[in-house]
Structure 1
Amino acid sequence: MTRYDGDQERTFAALPPARGRGFAQTWWGQAWLKALEETALDSEQLKVGRRLARAGAVGAVSVRPGRITAVVQGRDRTAHRADVLLEELTEDQWDRFLDMAVEHAGHVAALLDREMPPHLVEDAAARGIELLPGMGDLEPECGCDAWDHCGHTAALCYQVARLLDQDPFVLLLMRGRGERGLLNDLQARSAAPTSDRPAPCEPAEPEGVDAAEAYATGDILPPLPALPEVPAEPGVPPSLDTETPPAPGVEPAALEFLAARTAAEAHRLLSDALRAGPEQQVAEAGLTPSQDMVRLAAGSPPADVAERLADGSGRGHEGLETAVRAWHLGGVAALAVLDEEWTVEGEALARARAALESAWDEDKRPTLRARGNRWTVVGAPGQLRLGRDGRWWPYREERGRWVPAGGPARDPATALASARSATEEEER
């Protein structure tokens, strides 16, 4: 396999402090941090590392196959060189990865869009290639002579999670291949005759003839028509205002509203499907009757329909108004956080406490009173609610009721700050 020496090291300038935000927003960045947190034996060193990374104590980061390096300034202002090692993939593993990527063009397209879809990682794992690190894979080396992860190597890992969010090719370089070299290998392999390619681990079952290839080689076949464009607006349902009286129990205004909302939802689903492409489509779970009532209420129904939705949902006018606010902020997930109060236990509780402790400097941390998955700020009209997916949702008190105050965040400080800014905006 050809190696590209000029493509085997990247240096990233020191990132600014990360106060008030999480280190990993993508699922692969979070998987990187999970490998760190499951490996480190001393959780106190992880806290130190988070504080150092948040304060901007990590210098320029050098990324090479099998190693990341940076100079990290400790709490005592002493600078140490910190390294974290990650095993490179073997030549055989890279051959298998390239075979897989050539077979699935969508994987390469996703990487070029700086995305790492789960099915790319799953397809690689099926061929014996672990792209993301697991427990024990991140091996620390530090000038402070710590034998396990210290605050310096932990800070480096937290900072690298931010780099991975921006560019998953950083992970592939750690595994042994730079972006330019990897793309050159893929191009050469795609252009090579099938007989010249290394044999795959298992013979693939024949999958038929690709439709585009068949049309491209068949002169007597007509070309495929272009896909129709999505209409700029949803279709308008027919009017039910006719001279014929409606059947008993049928309300024309309510039916017209339902038809209009159905057309709008169909337009949204079609637009999303064509925008995402077939490989990125994810089936949406069906809504419960209660959730669907909130969705309908979010569409500005006529007064009589809104009255029925308020009664039918069992929420009443104020409750439905609050639920609609939650729906606009986060759909079904936001409704679940509004309605459910659950007990946070075990690993989820440990992670929540760690996030709350590290989100603020000690002298700026608000006093919080916990009940279930809700942490209320003592002496202020603010509250944080933890969703089952680990995200924090901000709430504020209005007229004796807790109402959603913003979208979710991985970092509790960011979530609480959005609630405060929303309150200040309204007061102005």
Structure 2
Amino acid sequence: MTHARAASSRGGRTTGWWAKAWLRAVEEAAYGEADLRRGRSLARSGRVGAVTVDGGSFVAAVEEGDDAHTVSGTVEVWDDVAAATLVEIVAARSGRVTELLAGELPLSLVEDAEEAGVELVPYAGELDATCTCQAWLDPCPHALAVLVVLSVLLDRDPLVLFHLRGLDREQLLARLHARTVSAPPGPDAVEGDDEGDLDVGLDAVLRAQRLLELVARGDTAADHLF
């Protein structure tokens, strides 16, 4: 998924604790304060282009003077067991899906994930980024600029972090939906329990996404849904 320029519109500032945690990792990954200041300046002045995020990787162009450099980086992805565990953790408490889709990452979710051995926010040593400027140290200021911009993207949408870890938004919703559809209700299940709430919430999200797609296309088939 490609994300348009982000940091210049907000000055590169973050408010979510998870984005601040990412920034702390970026600061620790920098080899010196001068490189970090230069990277922040490039990010906040809008010199970082659109950032393309995929499972385990990201890439973006950074302009400086008359030159343009390409930064590419990697983040460790979850294996199948970790991804499945994370899905179970998201589904374990009612309201977590709604919070994630609303741009919030519940601290309790991260705590539960860490307790289960699943790490969300990477440490400094896990942020691997290289640049075509051929600096003798990585991450160079251009790479740091991209990492700063990523903090803004994460701040706006914590599911970008999930995507970097190998579980994008569509995959997460699909797994949660499949989980609630395939799992039969237990003998003690009652109306309004967490499983039911999750299923109803996911159904509403999927319907809303479909409606937005129809409206965006100007499809008259959406009229009866109002």
**AA at the equivalent of 2:87:** L
- Superposed displacement of residue 42, structure 1: 2.1
In structure 2, relative to structure 1, the CA distance for the partners of 1:93 and 1:16 (3 Å cut) is closer
Q: What secondary structure does 1:17 align onto?
A: helix
Change (3 A) 1:53 1:22: closer
Q: Does 1:117 align with 2:98?
A: no
Confirm whether residue 139 of structure 1 aligns to residue 128 of structure 2.
yes
What whole-Å deviation, never above 9, does each CA across 1:372-399 have from its counterpart, x for those lacking one? xxxxxxxxxxxxxxxxxxxxxxxxxxxx
SS in 1 for 2:46: coil
Counterpart mapping for 1:145-164 below 5 A: 145-146=134-135, 147-164=137-154
Q: Does 1:71 align with 2:54?
A: no
Which string of whole-angstrom CA distances, capped at 9 and with x for unpartnered residues, describes residues 249-270 of structure 1? xxxxxxxxxxxxxxxxxxxxxx
Paired position in structure 2 for 1:30: 20
Partner of 1:201: none
Aligned residue among 41, 47, 50 for 2:37: 47
Deviation at 1:159, TM superposition (A): 1.0
Change (3 A) 1:194 1:129: farther
Higher percent of residues as helix = 2
How do 1:20-419 residues align onto structure 2 when only pairs under 5 Å count?
21-74=11-64, 76-146=65-135, 147-193=137-183, 212=191
8 Å contact kept, 2:39–2:144: yes
State TM-score, norm by structure 1.
Answer: 0.42
SS of the residue aligned with 1:136? Answer: helix
Which letter maps to 1:93?
Answer: A
Distance 1:46 1:83 in 2: 17
Whether the aligned pair in 2 keeps the contact of 1:69 and 1:81 (CA below 8 Å) is yes
How far off is 1:84 after superposition?
2.2
> Cα RMSD over matched residues?
2.2
Q: Distance in 1 between matches of 2:7 and 2:93?
A: 37
Higher relative contact order (CA 8 A, sep 6+): 2
CA distance in structure 1 between the partners assigned to 2:67 and 2:114 by the alignment: 41
Compared CA separation, residues 41 and 213, structure 1 to 2 (3 A): same
Change in Cα spacing, 1:16 to 1:88, as seen in structure 2 (3 Å) is closer
Which position in structure 2 is the counterpart of 1:275? none
Describe the SS at the equivalent of 2:126: coil
- Aligned partner of 1:187: which letter? H
Q: Does the 8 Å contact 2:12/2:148 carry over to 1?
A: no
Aligned with 1:185: secondary structure? helix
Larger radius of gyration: 1
SS in 1 for 2:71: strand
TM-superposition CA deviations, 1:209-233 (whole Å, max 9, x none): 566469xxxxxxxxxxxxxxxxxxx
Q: Identify the residue that residue 351 of structure 1 maps to in structure 2.
A: none
Q: Distance in 2 between matches of 1:169 and 1:106?
A: 15
Number of residues paired by the alignment?
A: 191
Query: How far is the alpha carbon of 1:177 from its aligned partner?
Result: 1.3
Counterpart amino acid of 2:100? L
> Take 2:192 and 2:36, find their aligned partners in 1: how far apart are those partners?
53
State the TM-score, normalizing by the size of structure 2: 0.78
2 CA distance for matches of 1:22 and 1:56?
A: 9
Q: After TM superposition, which residue ranges in structure 1, 4 or more long, deviate above 6 angstroms?
A: none
2: distance between equivalents of 1:149 and 1:16? 19
Q: Which residue matches 1:13?
A: 4
Distance 2:161 2:132 in 1: 24
Cα shift at 1:137: 1.3
- Measured against aligned partners, the alpha-carbon deviations of 1:321-375 in whole angstroms (never above 9, x if no partner) come to xxxxxxxxxxxxxxxxxxxxxxxxxxxxxxxxxxxxxxxxxxxxxxxxxxxxxxx
| Contact 2:7–2:13 (8 Å) recurs in 1 | no
Quickly say closer, same or farther: Cα 1:22–1:63, change in 2 above 3 A. closer
The share of aligned pairs that are identical, in percent, is 36
- Stretches of structure 2 that go unaligned for 5 or more consecutive residues are 194-226
In 2: Cα distance, 1:181 partner to 1:123 partner: 20
Letter paired with 1:15: A
Does the CA-based 8 Å contact 1:97-1:124 persist in structure 2? yes
SS at match of 1:68: strand
Offset of 1:106 from its aligned partner? 2.3
Structure 2: how far apart are the matches of 1:159 and 1:213? 41
Which sections of structure 1, spanning at least 5 residues, go unmatched? 1-9, 196-208, 215-428
- Within 2, Cα distance between the matches of 1:167 and 1:85? 19
**How far off is 1:194 after superposition?**
6.1
